[in-house]
């Protein structure tokens, strides 16, 4: 079958394209701004990429158009598809109908930590010799790719996003996955462009819970009122908890970051790694509980996590110049920003942290979380915020006003070069520069490293 994928360079749709190709389909695709690294991965697999969404692509005459959620009404190719009466389907539905049936689907959902927990889980299964299939919104250092598929393998780890499926299907993506093992990592308000309030997101999580079989397992943290409400609406599967008072617990980390894991009060071993932060210990517990449901003993999972190398763009050290370290992190929600800074603070002690922030997500651009930003940045010594005044990523609020409670610690810029110059001027040996954005941020990491090198 020939599939033509609209929005192919997004992480999810690009991964889906790789999976479809591995399943034996002919795959072509298009996007606005075909760009690496996804474009490189796709081209290496013989997938033809077309720039833009021109209606002339109808001449390809694929058997099916697979639509990503970046496509909306008014898209010229989509309008041509609708006029022609050609067959089309959303990416998540195609995956759910054609790839996931018969698989042991291990889905990782939640407001935060989906990519990291999915990567940990896939790595544990890989280390146990299960060679899982997976589709993850990032690249784990140990797995090397974001998606992999072999129809002979039953485990399938998938990052289960609550964002809507497509312009014609406003259900969350994860309702199409029908998991047997589901991690509900946490639940907060997010995606203000899609959901009016937290209750609307809870409804989508409840729909996910309704699809899990009685022999399935739901893994969730203790002390989450939002998830309490989700489960109270109906639950037909085993529920396993992690965190304080949970079935799975993590001991306090030592100076190296290593911590003990306990399952029902029994010591399962020590995870020996350098990843910082309470959030990563919770992600680890969730991954261990999910891997156990797929047949990996807890002690074996703990040993595997001790060899986990982390995920790109999750506290990834991009370089060190003259004693100044520059990190890249995907944090873009106030809770994620706060936990990321907290983890770095515990790691570096009294060293200065320079937080460089791009509020780029739709939720942040709309200002739904802006009031929470000052408190989320409390562990930073200096804060540099980028806010475009016009264009696709323009903010609907004034960063200078929002960050005013931080006083002289905070400054805002609408020009990346000016931002780079300010950070470079402020940085001194021993500083930790933490760049946080869910986008490319104009290649700021390379610009900062180059500017620091030039400064000498």
Residue ranges of the binding site for ATP:
110-116
Greatest alpha-carbon span in the chain: 63
Say which DSSP state 191 is in. -
> The tokens of 157 are what?
């780890």
Burial of 196 (0-12, 13-18, 19+ CB in 10 A): exposed
How far, in Å, are 27, 55, 180, 325 from residue 228 at the CA level? 42, 48, 20, 41
CA atoms within 13 A on the CB side of 103: 26
Q: How far apart are CA 53 and CA 33, in angstroms?
A: 10
Bridge partners (DSSP) of residue 65 are 4, 88
Q: Would you list which residues are annotated within the binding site? A: 110-116
- Select from 247, 251, 242 the least CA-distant residue to 286: 242
Helices (H), 370-455: 373-376, 399-402, 416-426, 444-455
For residues 281 and 246, the answer to whether their CB atoms sit within 8 Å is no
- Select from 18, 114, 33, 136 the least CA-distant residue to 440: 33
Helices (H), 269-333: 278-293, 298-305
Report the relative pairing of strands 248-250 and 259-263 from DSSP bridges: antiparallel
Bridge partners (DSSP) of residue 221 are 242
For residues 259 and 281, the answer to whether their CB atoms sit within 8 Å is yes
For residues 42 and 18, the answer to whether their CB atoms sit within 8 Å is yes
> The tokens of 347 are what?
């790691």
Peptide bond into 182 cis (omega under 30): no
Q: How far apart are CA 38 and CA 146, in angstroms?
A: 10
């Amino acid at each position: 079958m020939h599939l033509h994928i609209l929005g192919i360079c997004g992480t999810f749709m690009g991964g889906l394209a790789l999976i479809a190709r591995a399943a034996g389909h002919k795959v072509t695709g298009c996007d606005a701004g075909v760009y690496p690294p996804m474009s490189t991965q796709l081209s290496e697999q013989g997938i033809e990429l077309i720039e833009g969404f021109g209606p002339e692509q109808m001449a390809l005459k694929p058997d099916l158009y697979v639509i990503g959620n970046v496509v909306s009404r008014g898209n010229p190719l989509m309008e041509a598809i609708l006029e022609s009466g050609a067959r089309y389907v959303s990416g998540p539905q195609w995956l759910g109908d054609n790839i996931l049936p018969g698989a042991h689907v291990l889905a990782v959902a939640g407001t935060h930590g989906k990519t990291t927990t999915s990567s940990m889980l896939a790595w544990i299964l890989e280390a146990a010799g299960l060679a899982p299939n997976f589709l993850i919104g990032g690249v784990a250092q140990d797995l090397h790719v974001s998606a992999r598929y072999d129809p002979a393998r039953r485990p399938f780890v998938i990052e289960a996003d609550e964002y809507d499926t497509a312009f014609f299907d406003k259900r969350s993506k994860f309702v199409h996955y029908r998991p047997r093992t589901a991690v509900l990592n946490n639940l907060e308000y997010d995606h203000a462009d899609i959901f009016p309030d937290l209750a609307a997101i809870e409804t989508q999580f409840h729909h996910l819970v309704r699809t899990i079989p009685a022999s399935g397992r739901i893994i969730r943290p203790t002390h989450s009122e939002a998830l309490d409400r989700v489960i109270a609406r109906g639950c037909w599967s085993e529920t396993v908890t992690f965190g304080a008072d949970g079935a799975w617990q993590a001991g306090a980390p030592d100076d190296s970051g290593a911590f003990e894991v306990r399952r029902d009060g029994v010591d399962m071993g020590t995870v020996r790694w350098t990843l910082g932060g309470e959030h990563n210990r919770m992600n680890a517990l969730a991954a261990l509980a999910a891997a156990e449901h797929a047949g990996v003993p807890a002690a074996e999972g703990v040993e595997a996590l001790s060899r986990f190398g982390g995920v790109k763009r999750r506290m990834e050290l991009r370089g060190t110049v003259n004693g100044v370290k520059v990190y890249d992190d995907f944090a873009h929600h106030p809770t994620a920003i706060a936990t990321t800074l907290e983890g770095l603070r515990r790691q570096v002690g009294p060293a200065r942290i320079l937080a460089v922030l791009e509020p780029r997500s739709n939720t942040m651009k709309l200002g739904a979380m802006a009031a929470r930003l000052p408190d989320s940045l409390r562990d930073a010594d200096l804060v540099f915020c980028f806010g475009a005044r016009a264009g696709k990523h323009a903010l609907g609020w004034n960063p200078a006003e929002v960050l005013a409670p931080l006083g002289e610690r905070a400054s805002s810029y609408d020009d990346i070069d000016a931002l780079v110059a300010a950070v470079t001027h402020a940085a001194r040996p021993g500083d930790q520069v933490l760049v946080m954005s869910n986008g490319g941020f104009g290649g700021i990491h390379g610009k900062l490293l180059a500017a620091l090198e030039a400064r000498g």
